[in-house]
Amino acid sequence: MALFGATGSIGGSTLQVIAEREAEFEIAALAAGRNVGALAELAARWRPRALGVGAAELIPHLRAELAARNVRPEPEIAAGAAGLRDLAAGLDYDVLLLATVGVPGLAAAEAALARGKTLALANKEALVAAGPILMRAAAQGGGTILPVDSEHSAIHQCLRAGRSGEVERLILTASGGPFLDWTEQQLRAATPADALRHPTWRMGRRITTDSATLMNKGFELIEACHLFALEESNVEVLIHPQSIVHSLVAYRDGSVMAQLGTADMRTPIQYALTYPAREATKREKLDLAAVARLEFRRADEGRLRALRLARQAWRAGGAAGAVLNAADEVAVEAFHAGQLSFLDISAVVEDVLGSWQHLKMDQLADAQAADAAARRAAQERVRARAERRGADGSAAAR
C-alpha cells in the first residue's frame, strides 16, 4: 500500500494497524508535508520504494536525514502535489490511503482511481472540493473509494444490511464539540483555546475547530451525498455527545442500523484495509454497560450555520464545495490568528459562498481554480472584518 500523510495522526494510526498484521502488508510509498525527520524515521522502519514531501526544497534535507539513518538504497523521492500524483499514477500498489490535509492530494486521488486502485479516503476536503471529479474517475477507471472517516465507515458497514434502493435516509452523528451547551453570548467570546477542547477526539487544529462550528459535519454531509448517491435532504445530523454511535442508516421498512464502537480511528482504518473481511484485534472493545447511557438530540442548524451552508453548497453544485472548503480554511486560520471572532468564521464562509458565481466542475483544474479564487475572496473578507473590529475598538477606547 501507499500512505500519503504518513506523519499525521491518521498516518500514525494506520501504521499501528499495519504493524499488528505486518506479514500482510508491504509499504510501497510514504509521503508527508514538511516533517522530513519523522518521514526519514518511518523510511528506516518500513523501507518503502518511494517517498513524497511537500516541496522540492525539502528534498536535500530528506536525503541528509535518510543518509544519517543509513537508509540504502535511497528511495525514489517526489515533491509537491505533482509528485504525489506521479507516485499514485506510476507505483505498483493495491491501496492508497490518503490522509493528507487540504487539496494537494486531489490529483493523487484521481490518479489512483483512474488506475482502478482502492482509495482509502481519510481526507475530508477531497470529496468536498472535487467530489464529481473523483466519483467520475472511480466510475470510469474501476477504482473503489473506501471511507476511513469513522462516520462514513459506519454508514458503509450499515449499508451491508440491505440494498441501496431500500435506504430511506442516512443519519450522521456529531459529538457537538466543546460548545454543545454554550449560549450565543458565550460563543461570541469563545477563544481558540476553547475551540480546541474537543470532548472526545484528539485531532488537528483545523478539524477540531470545524467540529466546534459543525462545519466538519457539513463536510461529512457532502461526502456522504457523493459516496452513497443521496441528496442532502436524505441526510440527517444528530448530536450524540458520547461518540459511541458513529452513524446510522434508516431503511424504508422502519429498521435502523447503527455502528457502535470506541473512539479509536484504528477501527475504521483496519476495516478499510482488510475489507470485505473483518479481522480480529486485541484493541479495547466497547463496553456498553460502562457507557450506560446514549443520548441524541437534533442539530440546531440555525444556531451554528455551518450545516446550513454545507447544504447550500451541495444544492448549488459545480465548484461550490471547493469554495466552501477554501473559505472555511482561511476563516479558521484567521480565527486562530486573532483576526476573527468564533462566530465570524461561519459569517465569512457565508459571505463568500453567497456572493460566488458557481463555475463548472468538469476537471480537477476547475476545483483548483475555484479553491484559489475563494481563498483570495475569503482573505479580503477577513481583512475587512479585522479592520472594522480595530476601528470599533479604537472608537470605544476614545
Domain locations in the chain as residue ranges: 2-147, 149-304
Output the pLDDT for position 395. 47
pTM value > 0.95: no
What pLDDT was estimated at residue 396? 44
| 145 CB-side CA count, 13 A | 31
For the chain, 398 residues long, give each residue's pLDDT as a single digit of tens. 999 999 999 999 999 999 999 999 999 999 999 999 999 999 999 999 999 999 999 999 999 999 999 999 999 999 999 999 999 999 999 999 999 988 889 999 999 999 999 999 998 889 999 999 999 999 999 999 999 999 999 999 999 999 999 999 999 999 988 898 899 899 999 999 999 988 776 777 888 899 999 999 999 999 999 999 999 999 999 999 999 999 999 999 999 999 999 989 999 999 999 999 999 999 999 999 999 999 999 998 877 799 999 999 999 999 999 999 999 999 999 999 999 999 999 999 999 999 987 778 899 999 999 999 999 999 999 999 988 877 665 544 44
Between CA 382 and CA 392, with CA 386 as vertex, the angle to 5 degrees is: 145
Where are the alpha helices (H) located in 91-245, listed in sequence order? Answer: 106-114, 124-141, 150-158, 184-188, 192-195, 205-213, 215-228
Tell me what pLDDT residue 397 has.
42
Residue position matching grid coordinates 511537500: 54
Read off φ and ψ for residue 211, nearest 5 degrees.
-65, -35
- Its CATH class, for the domain covering 2-147, is alpha beta
Give 56's contacts (C-beta < 8 A, 6+ positions apart): 79, 80
Yes or no: say if 124 and 102 are a contact pair by the CB < 8 Å rule: no
DSSP code at position 145: E
Sign (positive or negative) of CA dihedral 149, 150, 152, 158: positive
Residues 51, 57, 58, 64, CA torsion sign = positive
CA-only gyration radius of the chain, Å: 21
